[in-house]
Structure 1
């Protein structure tokens, strides 16, 4: 028998078709969350609400039927990509990286995404889903974001894509059709953006209220923990880093590191910056700010006391540095990240 021709996904009149991609590496929480939130009007509203739903969301994959995701949970694939020759929005959910991402494992998905983009589809990634989307080559020379924990792996896998792990949402492309969201639950921001863009701000606000979703308006810098690069192979600098990890709060730590290294000052600073990617004084500042963040999260110490304990006698300077580094004032950071009273032992 001749093979049936590919079909356009069946559509609800007036609704944009969203193809939510299921693949074995996908994380169930992101995929299921996006599905429920974008289908909110159909799932929770009246029949008339369903008729006016702005999106029709389908879980798509290489074949229909149950697919076991990275979490070990089966997810039904509702439509095979071979049966879809047109869709409005494609979303690749978070994928779980065990070690590093291996390219070339999903050629049929990559080719289908390329075809859909050529026919006008908007491409979206949640968190680490950008690893798959970047294989299309459509993000080459473009800006994108990814979970900050995967930023180094992504840069090594796709060096042609400019990555901004501190950003919540990045919109690129000549038609603003390449959309990536950053760490973990920033898929909330992506979904709210898509609703605002294609259904209007009022719908986005209603959705945010319904699910208690919040825009990550402070960006992701406050969530990122600084970890100095140590796999650079420069034993002298690695020794200095180990010493600094325990003594960053002493007076004049850079001068002390240079003295202990027995290298010339210019040589030490050049080698340190080359090895770690950060100048010595900036490295010290990042270690001090990380310690201050933990103290704000876990203690009742005043900001002035924390400033002194991490190495700054001038509390006003510390406050400016903290905000410049994290994007938040110390008090605001404490309010955001400290465990609330009701949850403490």
Structure 2
């Protein structure tokens, strides 16, 4: 009887240790091929606008998510870069990183192990995950900034010339409720408070990163105006409502520009301007007035929703492959212009071949 009890306890202990430790991350990394030594380390902090679409842990059981039946052919901008410019930008190895359970995350942290939370399948230096709010940049258990710093400490010399991109804010003040409030009053107190808090979290993240790596290069991405999203085209069709929303959104971008101003190692990516240069915007009256974007020689992408690549956004509302490919293209241009990284430009024909390699969608 005593032997059986001890055996049971031993099995339980081993099981607990397996759950706690799994295959230690350091051992998993040792099994992976080494990264290109000349590639610039590239990290991302943020939300679903940067979370890999091919994450089976997060989206494998959600058949409607990230492209639905076409998810295997739908791409996040981070995935485009990882596939096409891995020689120049190193986002870390692809794998399963983090833990599913909040308490287990805290326990692993207490034991000096990696308590990254939540779990996802992605490139290792991409700490963005769906549903993130700005507080997740700096507050536990997610604390994306602290998690990234821990990764950077593993190879500090590689991060001396590294790049970190921060893209977040939609879940704080970019959804229907906030946009509706801003459409009536650009100074709506609850929304403005969330905007200001978000800027503060981003500023704190930048300060924390810079305290450890003074020469780290950081890109701050402005907020996308979801009033341009096809699901909201029927709303806010007045000049005043549109002006109010733009004024409210501008408060956030102004906050980020103030952080970037005068710092040669920082850059601002204007997401609203990027979209307007391609798809356009609404008329002065507030009515939708978007043009189609040429993607390749004859394929066109409209500001509509659907999982096929002729739509700018997927059925679940996230950016489609053409959008993300063109966004990655613009980011590479910004990195080269700002810091002379010498990354080969992403030509549109190359992007078309990546998104539609077999010609199924008629892009080539």
Which interval holds the TM-score relative to the shorter structure? 0.3 to 0.5
**TM-score of the aligned structures, taking structure 2 as reference length:** 0.34
Q: Which structure's relative contact order is higher, taking Cα pairs within 8 Å and 6+ residues apart? A: 2
